[in-house]
């Protein structure tokens, strides 16, 4: 048998697997990767930094044989059946005590099932979210592991070495039991959908005021130097400058408006409904991607409803500032909804998700990293069990400062007929959340009227039913 020399093994040498493995090698780990496609194993070796130990193989058994015991390996393959297929191929090759990590975007319920299945065989299984895309995987991603704590301790030094750092603190931490790592990554992606939707609405509102791509670049670049500093605002500024290879246009102008998705946003909405917890901005972001796919119907509807709309009176600089504040408001609410979901899920699903650690891990390396998360980190460090970040005083001040301009933008968008469902939803959620007595007493009355569903009273305990209308 060949000598077992490698520290870590990777299954799936696509975008994420290849780059994460090269990152490990850059940090001094000897690594080996498996992919059925030999062009990918070759690409892995040729992309390695000189002096690092990187090997690609086209046989899974060869890779497993060459790993030091207890073996540590990760798969970065598409979620769903491919993960189960890889697990089945690995089982006969592994020994008790080996550690297997699923670093893809698996649904947490699958991870819970797999943790149990492999535990019965003495194999440690960990579901782990990774965020940062291609570049992040190569240079320092945000890493969200959960599940088997003993397994985490075995791979912790390596994960800390390869992760992004903020003020020398690694953007990785143990985020809870069973499927918690993948649950946190799912909610991360829900927030990602939400912020991307809000940015696209800001883009539409700015375009309506006549800003061209160069001006849009400048606006987003300036925003990225202030309170809105974040990865998504930064890349948005870049996007407006990108030229198309085929035409003289800017690339953004020739990209189809049908948005794709792989499912994590939808899962976030579905799971929020199950808990239940209200995350309407994330729900709206998912819905807007869905509407975007109905292109032909939208074209028909545009013909029917394409009436002139009210024009703006506001001067452009004021409008830009108002949109800045509306976007900032929406971003605050997006994180608030995602984190409220994690708070509730942690209790309901008994996953013990530490919110201060989640925010710490999201501050660097991931797609939703932003300066705002520093404020959230302070808030959760002071009150780790905060049910909703909107109850924090510092966040309340940020909301208060952005609120008037948000209301103006929502009113102006509504009057002008510009679709801004995400910003509107953020404001609607906020106004409901801060309402001491909602009009839902009437909903209760209606439910009892037509279905004898009973209601509770404000002046007595217990359930009541009325024979209405008699």
Ligand X SMILES: O=C(CO)[C@H](O)[C@H](O)COP(=O)(O)O
- Residues contributing to the site for ligand NDP (CB under 6 A): 11-17, 35-37, 40, 76-79, 82, 85-86, 104-105, 130-131, 133, 262
Establish whether 185 is a catalytic residue. yes
Distant-in-sequence, close-in-space partners of 231: CB < 8 Å, separation ≥ 6: 366, 367, 368, 369, 370
Using CB under 6 A, pick the residue from 200, 264, 268, 284 that binds ligand X: 264
Q: Which of 234, 237, 268, 232 is nearest to 250 (CA)?
A: 237
Q: Using the minimum distance from each CB to ligand NDP, give the nearer residue, 12 or 330.
A: 12
Q: Using the minimum distance from each CB to ligand X, give the nearer residue, 264 or 337.
A: 264
Q: Using the minimum distance from each CB to ligand X, give the nearer residue, 211 or 373.
A: 373
SS3 (DSSP) at 108: helix
Establish whether 307 is a catalytic residue. no
Q: Judged by CB under 6 A, does residue 334 bind ligand X?
A: no
Using CB under 6 A, pick the residue from 36, 262, 350, 457 that binds ligand X: 262
Element (H, E) at 290: helix 280-293
Min CB(341)–ligand X separation in Å: 16
Confirm or deny that 193 is annotated as ligand binding.
yes
Subset of 120-179 contacting ligand X (CB under 6 A): 131, 133
Question: DSSP characters for 202-221?
Answer: HHHHHHHTT--HHHHHHHHH
- The total of other beta-carbon atoms located within 10 Å of residue 27's CB is 15
Contact between 405 and 427 under an 8 Å Cβ cutoff? The reply is no
* Active-site pick, 55, 72, 185, 266: 185
Q: Which does 280 bind (CB under 5 to 8 A by kind): ligand X, ligand NDP, none?
A: none
Confirm or deny that 189 is annotated as ligand binding.
yes
Q: Which does 14 bind (CB under 5 to 8 A by kind): ligand NDP, ligand X, none?
A: ligand NDP
Confirm or deny that 27 is annotated as ligand binding.
no
| Per rule CB under 6 A, count of chain residues that contact ligand X | 10
Min CB(141)–ligand NDP separation in Å: 8
Question: DSSP characters for 78-102?
Answer: -SSHHHHHHHHHHGGG--TT-EEEE
Q: Judged by CB under 6 A, does residue 105 bind ligand X?
A: yes
- The total of other beta-carbon atoms located within 10 Å of residue 99's CB is 23
Contact between 33 and 63 under an 8 Å Cβ cutoff? The reply is yes
* Active-site pick, 178, 192, 234, 357: 192
* Number of residues that make up the chain: 470
Contact between 289 and 193 under an 8 Å Cβ cutoff? The reply is yes
- The total of other beta-carbon atoms located within 10 Å of residue 292's CB is 16
Min CB(28)–ligand X separation in Å: 27
Report, as residue numbers or ranges, the catalytic residues. Answer: 185, 192
Residues near ligand X (CB under 6 A) are 105, 131, 133, 189, 192, 261-262, 264-265, 367
Residues of the binding site for substrate? 105, 131-133, 188-189, 193, 262, 289, 447, 453
């Amino acid at each position: 048998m060949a000598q077992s020399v490698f520290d870590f093994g990777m299954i799936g040498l696509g975008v994420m697997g290849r780059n994460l493995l090269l990152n490990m090698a850059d940090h001094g780990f000897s690594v080996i990767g498996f992919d059925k496609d030999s062009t990918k194993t070759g690409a892995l070796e040729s992309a390695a930094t000189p002096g690092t130990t990187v090997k690609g193989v086209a046989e899974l058994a060869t890779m497993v044989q060459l790993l030091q015991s207890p073996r540590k390996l990760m798969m970065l393959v598409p979620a769903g059946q491919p993960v189960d297929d890889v697990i089945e191929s690995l089982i006969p090759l592994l020994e008790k005590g080996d550690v297997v990590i699923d670093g893809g975007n698996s649904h947490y319920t699958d991870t819970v099932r797999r943790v149990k299945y492999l535990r019965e065989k003495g194999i440690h299984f960990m579901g782990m979210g990774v965020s940062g895309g291609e570049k992040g995987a190569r240079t320092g991603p945000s890493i969200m592991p959960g599940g088997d704590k003993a397994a985490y301790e075995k791979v912790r030094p390596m994960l800390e070495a390869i992760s992004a750092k903020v003020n020398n603190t690694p953007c990785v931490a143990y985020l809870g039991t069973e499927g918690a790592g993948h649950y946190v990554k799912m909610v991360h992606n829900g927030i990602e959908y939400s912020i991307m939707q809000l940015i696209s609405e800001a883009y539409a509102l700015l375009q309506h005021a006549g800003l061209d791509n160069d001006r849009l670049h400048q606006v987003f670049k300036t925003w990225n130097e202030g309170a809105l500093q974040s990865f998504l605002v930064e890349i948005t500024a870049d996007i407006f400058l990108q030229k198309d290879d085929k035409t003289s246009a800017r690339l953004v102008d020739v990209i189809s408006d049908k948005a794709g998705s792989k499912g994590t946003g939808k899962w976030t909405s579905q799971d929020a409904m199950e808990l239940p917890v209200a995350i309407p901005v994330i729900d709206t972001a998912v819905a807007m991607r869905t509407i975007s796919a109905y292109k032909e119907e939208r074209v028909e509807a545009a013909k029917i409803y394409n009436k002139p709309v009210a024009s703006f009176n506001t001067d452009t600089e004021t409008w830009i500032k108002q949109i800045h504040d509306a976007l900032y408001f929406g971003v605050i609410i997006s994180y608030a909804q995602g984190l409220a979901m994690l708070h509730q899920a942690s209790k309901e699903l008994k996953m013990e998700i530490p919110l201060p650690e989640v925010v710490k891990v999201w501050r660097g390396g991931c797609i939703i990293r932003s300066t705002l998360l520093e404020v959230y980190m302070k808030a959760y460090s002071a009150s780790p069990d905060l049910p909703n970040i909107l109850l924090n005083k510092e966040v309340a001040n940020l909301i208060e400062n952005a609120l008037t301009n948000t209301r103006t933008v929502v009113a102006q968008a509504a009057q002008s007929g510009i679709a801004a469902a995400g910003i509107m939803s953020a404001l609607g959620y906020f106004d409901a959340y801060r309402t001491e007595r909602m009009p839902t007493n009437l909903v209760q009355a209606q439910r009892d009227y037509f279905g004898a569903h009973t209601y509770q009273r404000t002046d007595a305990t217990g359930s009541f039913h009325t024979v209405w209308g008699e």
